[in-house]
Amino acid sequence: MSKYDDLNRIIAESKHIVFFGGAGVSTESGIPDFRSKDGLYNNRDVQFDRYTPEYLLSIDCLEDAPKVFYEFYRQKLNVDGIEPNRAHYKLAEMEKAGKLDGVITQNIDGLHQKAGSVNVHEVHGSTLRNYCKRCHRKYPADAIFTSKDPIPKCSICGGMIRPDVTLYGEGLPTDAWRNAVRLVDNADCLIVGGTSLVVNPAASLAFGFRGDHLIIINRDVTSADRMAELVFHESISEVLDKIDVGAQ
């Protein structure tokens, strides 16, 4: 029996499978991993050099230096034109076939929904959604990315439009987090992909899993490898590609 036979056996016998993913799911679509050595944090533009990347994506920067925040945000976080990869499409196919209860993601790029996934819980928010800080009116992605105004303003009240993204210094969105915890509590199989499980509280989802089968797919070793039934240090899309949804 190969590891892939084991994987397909677990998928076949599980009734409530949940996928929990991180940056590694999107790197195959060309989105840099904020924390890898090739990622956003080491790809700083000269004009941002006086700031740390954590500051540039913090609530403090948004409030104290909004022009700097939006300049960085527009340059680095626009996902317009970026397409889902085979991992996103496979997960959407599994959900459609009734083999996946839902996706929990730390990514803010909306690629799971773009691939067709419906039950998606974005525990760090999404760059595709914005809202007015003052009146909470909702705005689409282009309210920030294509706005000519250095600081995008609400057309109703004049307040600042901000991304619906969890910034450094902010807590996780309550509803998404609660739904994610509920999904994991109800799961008999948790597949963790593309996250090194170092960022809490999101990483605590994997450590809190009490179901039957924990599967980890990540290029590098993770802190939860020892707890897992199956570990793949490989490309996520290549591993997910081996899942035979039709054979259930």
Instruction: By CB under 5 A, name the binding residues for Zn ion.
Output: 132, 134-135, 137, 154, 156-157, 159
In sequence order, the 6+-apart residues with CB closer than 8 A to the CB of 185 are: 210
Min dist CB 139 to Zn ion, Å, is: 9
Nearer to Zn ion, 44 or 137 (CB): 137
HSE at residue 195, side-chain half, CA atoms within 13 A, is 24
Cβ nearer to Zn ion, comparing 158 with 201: 158
Provide the minimum distance between the beta carbon of 192 and Zn ion in the complex, in angstroms, as a whole number: 38
Active-site residue flag, 124: yes
DSSP state of 32: P
- 20 is written with which tokens? 């929990």
CA distance 168 to 129: 18
Which residue lies nearer to Zn ion by CB, 98 or 158? 158
CA distances 186 to 180, 190, 205, 210, Å, are 10, 10, 12, 9
Shorter beta-carbon distance to Zn ion: residue 157 or 221: 157
Choice among 124, 136, 213, 233 that is catalytic: 124
In the chain, what's the furthest Cα-to-Cα distance? 63
Taking the complex as a whole, the smallest distance from the CB of residue 77 to Zn ion amounts, in Å, to 22
CB 186 within 8 A of CB 17: no
What does the block give as tokens for 86?
């085979």
CB of 133 to Zn ion, least distance (A): 8
Question: Smaller CB distance to Zn ion: residue 15 or 138?
Answer: 138
- The DSSP output letter for 48 is G
Count of positions (residues) in the chain? 248
Please report how close the Cβ of residue 171 comes to Zn ion at its closest, in angstroms. 22
Give buried/exposed letters for 49-63 (b at 16+ CB in 10 A, else e). eebebebbbbeebbe
Q: How far is CA 4 from the centre of its chain?
A: 25
Q: How far is the CB of 68 from Zn ion (least distance, A)?
A: 22
Comparing CB distances to Zn ion, the nearer of 23 and 161 is 161
Tokens of 242: 């081996």
DSSP code, position 160: B
Catalytic center residues: 124
